[in-house]
Amino acid sequence: MTSRKKSDLRLPFAPMTRREWLMMMGAGTAAALLPGAVFAQGEPRRGGVLRVSGFANPSSLDPATGGAGSDHTYLWTIYDTLVEWDYKTLEPRPGIAQWKFSDPTTMVLTISPNVLFHDDTACDAEAVKFNLDRGRGDDRSNIKADLSSIDSVEVTGPLEVTVRLTRPDSALPAILSDRAGMMVSPTAAGKLGDEHDRKGVGAGPWKLVEWADNQNITVTRHEKYWRDDRGFVDGIEFSIMPERATGLRSVVAGQNDLAYQLPPRLKPLIDRSKDVELVTGPTLYCRQIYLNLSRGPLQDVRVRQAMNFAIDREAFVKVAQSGFGEPAHMNLPSSHWAYDPEVAKLYPHDPDKARALLAEAGFKDGFDLTIGGYTDADSVRRGEILMDQLGKIGIRLRFTNGTVAEISAQYFGQEKKFDSLVSAWTGRPDPAMSYGLMYAKDAYFNAGRVEVSAELTELLAKSRESEDMAVRKEIFSRLQRIVMEQALVVPIAFDAEMTAISKKVVGYRPNLIGKPKYEFVSLAS
């Protein structure tokens, strides 16, 4: 009893930082731990209200005008998407619509009948066209870039929309599983104008009741929801608690049923509570060192390769992530549909080889490398581990730490400060988006704006051409190989999703995006 008290006393001190809401998603060792245990607990019961501790106020409850990665978990309750994805592999699947490419630049969407928005407007071809045009053209839309391959959208039947593209884009289905595919009621959007940000109306399993800033969001059952195999709870109440340790405490105390994207170091608190269990799974969230290929020693591929050989990824996962997550050998985790195990073998931990490569590149005595980082305790700790590992081959990291917004803007934006940046890639529904955004010549996240090779540029374009998954997988293998052989990045580790759920929560499934969806969740009576 005494020891229990003592350990409980320690828990609240786990230093929590604001930045974790940007940084945490989840990855995992724990793929093995989860799925079986949490699903398969009998027929889901309808009813009850799920209480969730969320850690960030939404930027907007309109999918087109919002911008924060933390919005999705709220948006998915209110909005159904045209396309959905497989929880485990992210392979696209039909949502509200089925898609078919009649030729590489024409995509036909066939919309499911009987889909109604919360305001009884039909989600038909006109509504889908309205949404795609709004995403492409509205002044306040944040998803214009996602839909940039669309030339025109035509209604070709009551439930059929034909999308004409300016260039082949097989990433479009996956793009339509994200914000761009979340269907908003045209009636509500027209009537509410900017107010739709706060009063979003969609066709999802639940409709919005209330959103009080930084306090709570409440959604209740959409009685006319078009599918009966999901949306089991009568409603969901989100309490917004920025401190994740506090959010977890609310679950331990029984005030909430679920808290997500928790840092691994809070695991002891979950373990000690008999009414709460941990659900983990792999995610796309990749911690990595971004390299500015136009600067100093980093122009030499041997230096970049040396850095990749110098990193002990297994040790990093163990120390920095309490063993959760998986070592990253490329920008995709091992459970992703486009993962290539051969590419993963390119950089075993080999400091001798790293030193040899450095010597060959003319840096026998090492060199100083400027690097941007973030100020929160966890980031600093990760930085120290990397400093030690790279220090062993003579690369001396010179850190400048600041807030995420500030340091990222200094590194990627006009200023072009630092040779490198230790940060993360949050992942995208389609790998073509990730690779395009990080390695295309003019991509924002390619800080040096360097064209690596004509072949890479060609493959980036090609990765969007075919919709045959086998063909695409082959293209991504080649892409990944070039990225890693050229060592354009130093991937380190994938985070694990870490969600604490009360034992009465049934059917919760983690997903590769690492943000919770509640469509299959029910509550035990």
Partner 1 sequence: MSILTASRLRVARRRLIHAVPVLVLATFIVFGILKLMPGDIAITLAGENATEERIAEIRQNYGLDRPFLVQYGSWLWNAVQGDLSRSLASGEEVAVQIARSFPITLLIVVMAMGFALVFGIPLGILAASRPDSLVDRVVTSIGSLGIAVPNFWLAMIFVSWFALEFGWFPATGSVPLTQDPGQAIWHAFLPALALASGGMSEVSRQLRSSLVEVMSSPQVRTLHAKGLTPAAILWKHGLKNVSVNLLTVTSLLFNRMLAATVVVEAVFAIPGMGSLIVNAALFRDLPVAQGVVFVMVLVVISVNLVTDLLYTVLDPRIR
Under the rule (CB under 8 A), what is the footprint of partner 1? 4-5, 8-9, 11-13, 18, 53, 57-60, 66-69, 139-140, 142, 144-145, 194-195, 197-198, 211-216, 239-243, 246-247, 249-250, 252-255, 402-403, 405-406, 409, 413-414, 426, 437, 444-445
Smallest gap from Cβ 85 to partner 1, in A, equals: 18
Side chain identity at residue 291, one-letter code:
L
Q: Looking at beta carbons only, is 297 or 429 nearer to partner 1?
A: 429
Distances (CA, A) of 90 to 79, 338, 430: 18, 10, 8
Q: Which two tokens stand for residue 220?
A: 């209740």
CB of 505 to partner 1, least distance (A): 18
As beta bridge partners, residue 288 has: 423, 491
Helix (H, G, I), strand (E, B) or coil at 120: coil
Quick one: 181 or 366, whose CB is closer to partner 1? 181
Residue whose token pair is 């995208």: 428
Residue (16 or 293) nearer to partner 1, CB = 16
272 or 345: CB nearest partner 1: 272
Q: How far is the CB of 14 from partner 1 (least distance, A)?
A: 10
C-beta of 211: minimal distance to partner 1 in Å? 8
Q: Based on CB atoms, which residue is closest to partner 1, 148 or 187?
A: 148
As a 3-state breakdown, the chain gives helix, strand, coil percent values, each rounded to 5, of 35, 25, 45
Q: Which residue, 138 or 485, is less far from partner 1 as judged by CB?
A: 138
What the block records as the tokens of 472 is: 């695409």
DSSP string, 161-174: EEEEESS--TTHHH
CB of 304 to partner 1, least distance (A): 24
Q: Residue 78 or residue 354: which is nearer to partner 1 going by CB?
A: 78
Q: What does the angle CA 411 – CA 60 – CA 499 come to, to the nearest 5 degrees?
A: 80
**Other C-beta atoms within 10 Å of 222: how many?**
21
Q: Minimum distance from CB of 419 to partner 1 (Å)?
A: 20
DSSP string for residues in 446-465:
-TT-----HHHHHHHHHTTT
Helix (H, G, I), strand (E, B) or coil at 236: strand
Considering the complex, what minimum distance in angstroms separates the CB of residue 255 from partner 1?
6
Q: How far is the CB of 68 from partner 1 (least distance, A)?
A: 7
Please name the residue that has the structure tokens 């889901």: 44
Q: How far apart are CA 380 and CA 141, in angstroms?
A: 35
Q: How far apart are CA 67 and CA 422, in angstroms?
A: 22
Q: Which is nearer to partner 1, 215 or 453 (CB)?
A: 215
- Amino acid of residue 63: P
CB half-sphere exposure, 152, CA atoms < 13 A: 3
Report d(CA 110, CA 431) in Å as an integer: 25
Provide, rounded to whole angstroms, the least separation between the CB of residue 289 and partner 1: 19
**Judged by CB, which is closer to partner 1: 81, or 408?**
408
